[in-house]
Each structure stands twice: as structure tokens, then as C-alpha cells.
Amino acid sequence: QVQLVESGGGLVQAGDSLRLSCAASGLTFSNYAMGWFRQPPGKEREFVAGISWRGITSLYADSVKGRFTISRDNAKNTVYLQMNRLKPEDTAVYYCAADRNMMRGTTKPEYWGQGTQVTVSS
């Protein structure tokens, strides 16, 4: 019943910006911490960013800190990832995730979205 549906991925040039969205259904959205992970080609899935129930606390991987911003709109059951100053190494499939606790690098989230492709050319 739980569904996390990502959108907003695409092909951009280095230095460009992109905003990903994740629409959640089938769960009490405000009771879940939300987050984003990514999987570059040929590599393991890695943590990108996490946000608490009400959006008061956010966590970021060192590789994206200062460039990416996670936010959420509980009235719309949606979490966002604003990505600025994109680099070729940001190229990956980006996955939305939900968990009852704040997410970090070691988290194995309870729910996953299907992923959306982000490709950054140089």
C-alpha cells in the first residue's frame, strides 16, 4: 500500500540545478522521517540527505553539503531535494525513502521509491 513516487530527474549540464520531488501515499506522512539516497552507475547505493518528521532537522552527506537542500511539505505528503551546482559525479539514480527514524549513512529505510535518473554532463 505504501508508495513513494519520485519525479524531476533528467539530463543537465555541470553547474545547473534540479529539483526532485517524492510524493508519498499509504502511510501517515508526518510520522515518518524522509530521505534521499542515490546509486551511481556501478556503485553501491549511498545516503544523500534526511529530514525529520516536521522538517526541523536535516542531515546531509559530506559530498552534497552546501549544494543540496532537503525539504518537505506535510500538507502535500511530499519531500523535495533541491540540487544546485551539480557535478558529473552527482550522476546517479536517486531514490526517495521513508523511515520512522532519522536517516543517515547506515540506515536501511523501511520504504523505498522506484528511483529517478539524474545525469550531469561536463
pLDDT at residue number 106: 87
How large a percentage of the chain has pLDDT more than 90?
96
Q: Can you tell me the mean pLDDT for 38-48?
A: 97
What pLDDT score does 4 carry?
A: 98
Average pLDDT of span 44-54 = 96
Is 122 exposed, middle or buried (CB count within 10 Å of its CB: 0-12, 13-18, 19+)? exposed
At 87-99, the pLDDT tens digits run: 999 999 999 999 9
65 three-class SS: coil
What is the pLDDT, as a whole number, of residue 100?
95
